[in-house]
Amino acid sequence: MALILPIMNRIDRIFQDLRAAGSEGGGKALMPYLTAGDPSVEATGRMLTAIQDAGASVCELGIPFSDPVADGPVIEASMTHALSHGVTVGQIFEMVSHVRQSLSIGLVAMVSYSIVHRIGLTEFIGDAKDAGFDGFIFPDLALEESGPARLAAAEAGLILSMLIAPTTPDDRAEQIAKACTGFVYVVSRAGITGERAELPPELPARLKRLRAVTDLPITVGFGISSAEHVRQVVSVADAAIVGSGMMRRVAQARSEGEDQTVKIVEEYTRALVPGLSPV
């Protein structure tokens, strides 16, 4: 009987392909963040296509929550906007299901575990997989309590990444990195999300320590908002996550209509992509 091999997760395949291209001067990923439902669920679906066309490899799609974890005022306001317009998890899953067939980028849900718990772990992960998500980030799920979620995601063939903060002790950071699948999410600085003028000088040393304990791609988020920031990050990491910079532009463009908002998102993504290439 022929051996049936499991299908490789899309996130794993994307980073594998990028690493293979690395010898040709590429190999790095841009991972924009979008709040699902800002300015509308339909517009978010169009933005997913726009960021893909502009050169993004993976999208971190935030599920709106009334008490976001570690998110600064820009993303918090974005989630408030979505919730005030009645956005639900079901609507987000339906939208992803609708656009997934036209997308090749990876889709990772950034979602509070309280939402997952309320819906039910097995049901949430099953529905997310059916919709077309490739994995999850649960920012408020502690390592010690992550076993069931990691197992459920693995059984569904999806990845689960957890955050490593600057204040995380080295030994615990190593444990978190070993528990991740898909990629390791490193928070570049302490505090809440938001754009910064420069990246912390200790970041390369932190990433070097993690590389010693995991072969997974390392992604960096918090404070990245320009092509130069992206260039600095991917000189030591595998991907740059851009959140507040993206959603600030969405907020500024809302009054101009959804067509203009989608256009601004695509233009901003294109402006970030040059940072993936070395000078």
Q: Which two tokens stand for residue 164?
A: 């490593």
Instruction: Specify whether 198 is catalytic.
Output: no
pLDDT digits (tens, 9 = 90+) for 232-273: 899 999 999 999 999 999 999 999 999 999 999 999 999 999
Residues β-bridged to residue 108: 60, 135
pLDDT digits (tens, 9 = 90+) for 71-102: 578 999 999 999 999 999 999 999 999 999 99
196 found inside a domain: no
Question: Residue 85 in 3-state DSSP?
Answer: coil
The residue annotated as part of the active site, out of 38, 71, 76, 266, is 71
Give the structural domain span for 154. 28-161+230-273
Strand ordering across the sheet containing 239-242: 159-161, 135-137, 106-110, 58-62, 29-35, 239-242, 218-221, 184-187, 163-164
How many folded domains does the chain comprise? 1
Instruction: Specify whether 228 is catalytic.
Output: no
17 found inside a domain: no
Which run of H or of E encompasses 140? none
Sign of CA dihedral 73, 222, 96, 269: positive
169 found inside a domain: no
8 found inside a domain: no
The residue annotated as part of the active site, out of 12, 38, 60, 76, is 60
- Give pTM, 2 decimals: 0.92
The pLDDT value given to residue 71: 57
pLDDT digits (tens, 9 = 90+) for 187-236: 985 444 444 456 678 888 999 999 999 999 999 998 888 999 999 899 99
185 found inside a domain: no
Q: Output the domain CATH number for residue 131.
A: 3.20.20.70
pLDDT surpasses 90 at 11: yes
191 found inside a domain: no
Other CB atoms within 10 Å distance of the CB of residue 70: 16
